[in-house]
Amino acid sequence: MVGAVARAVPESRRMVFLYVAAGAVFATIAARGVTVPLYAHDLGASRFQVGALFSVATIAAALLSLPSGLLVDRFGARTLLGLSLAATAASQLATAFTDSVAPLFLWQIVGGLAAGAQQSALFSAVTESVSRGRLGRAMGWLTLSMQVGFTLGPAIAGLALKWIDLRTDIAVTTALLIFTIPGALAASQTRQHTGQGLALREPLRALARQAAFVPVTIGLISMTLVWGTFGAFVPIFARESLGLPSFQVGLLLGLQAIFNAGSRPVAGRIVDRARRRWPIVLTGVVVWSAATIVLGHLSGFLLPAIVIAIGTPFMAAAFVAIGVVFGDLSGASTRGVTMGMYGTVLFLGLSAGPLIFGPIVQGYGYAAGFTLCAAVAVALALVMAAMQVEPLRRRSEVPVPPPAPGT
């Protein structure tokens, strides 16, 4: 019955349903990114523990991203997406009924595992549905949907704190997952029959043999280190260092998501037209790293909001470029594995930042931790640029025949 419903959905409508589902998923995740750190802080968690809560979720997502990509290739995106959404809802509700710090780590792990599966399923479903020449725009719209979720989630959660407490807020925002149901039903159930069973070795070898794989992985790590470190600490940073009340913390994150979202479609067009993607990635890392350093020395709401508004679109373009590169690296039978690898590196980078630089934040303050993280991220981005191995669009790789004599 579900399969018949999915087949009856026109392709354009299916894409809209997938975009809406992505927005709802990330609205839930973003709302949790505001409420859980604040809730843990109120329960007595230290700065390092708050950062670790973020990291365990992203590590769990990284661990499941690659296996999830393989499962997408073998069994289709719909089943995996539906199961992971149910796990997200369960972890949200369990968090709301937790009254000490230690169990929060368990529910963050469950939520992270679900997020890893959702990342692979959504990205695979979208890349399967569009041509290579339109992949940048599709990624732009997909990530726009995600960033709309990142806008709405913190805004809804932050504003709700004016009337309800944190525990109730966590439970209530679970209702955002209702909007994922059409996308889960419409997602493709395409299975890739390659005769390899559930073996990862051959698809991974095929991916690793491509010249662009190593530099693009280094670029993604540089981006996620600085993005993840700031994202993990920004709720308590905004409260302790910027001096903002809880509802303004949500508004600040919502503002960042607005600029992130608004720049994605434009970034997709730029990426589709670019012959080389590494300058986009390098520029995004450098600009956002500089913004992060500046933010560590500010206070109040207005100036941090201006810095975030300036720096965020550059990093947004970098993420679109990286997503398109991984899409270009994927073959028809290894699309899930490739996007699973993308999710693995993405989540590992996001989790590594808070774990590596969290002790610096704890011992020396936010400015020191943000500055050191930014320096490492820029150094990695320069390594990526120095390798000078950048993927071109697949159509540009076709050799052009020499001109005929006399032309």
Report how far apart, in Å, the C-alpha atoms of 74 and of each of 45, 192, 196 are: 41, 5, 10
Dihedral angle, C-alpha 210, 213, 214, 219, nearest 10 °? 160
The pLDDT value given to residue 369: 95
Token code pair at residue 180: 């994922």
Task: Classify residue 123 by burial, with Cβ atoms within 10 Å: 0-12, 13-18, 19+.
Answer: buried
If DSSP codes are grouped into helix, strand and coil, which group holds residue 277? coil
Give the tens place of pLDDT for each residue, 353-396.
Answer: 888 998 999 899 999 999 999 999 999 999 999 886 444 444 44
- Under CATH, which number does the domain 2-182+203-394 receive? 1.20.1250.20
3-state secondary structure 119-158: HHHHHHHHHHHCCHHHHHHHHHHHHHHHHHHHHHHHHHHH
Give the tens place of pLDDT for each residue, 231-262.
Answer: 888 888 998 899 888 778 878 877 887 888 78
Question: Mean per-residue pLDDT for 329-343?
Answer: 67
More confident residue, 348 or 280: 280
Angle at 30 between CA 25 and CA 34, to 5 degrees: 150
Give the tens place of pLDDT for each residue, 162-213.
Answer: 888 888 888 888 888 888 888 777 666 554 444 444 456 666 777 777 777 8
Domain positions in the chain are 2-182+203-394
Residue pair 179/24 in contact by the 8 Å Cβ criterion: yes
Residue pair 70/330 in contact by the 8 Å Cβ criterion: no
The pLDDT value given to residue 407: 35
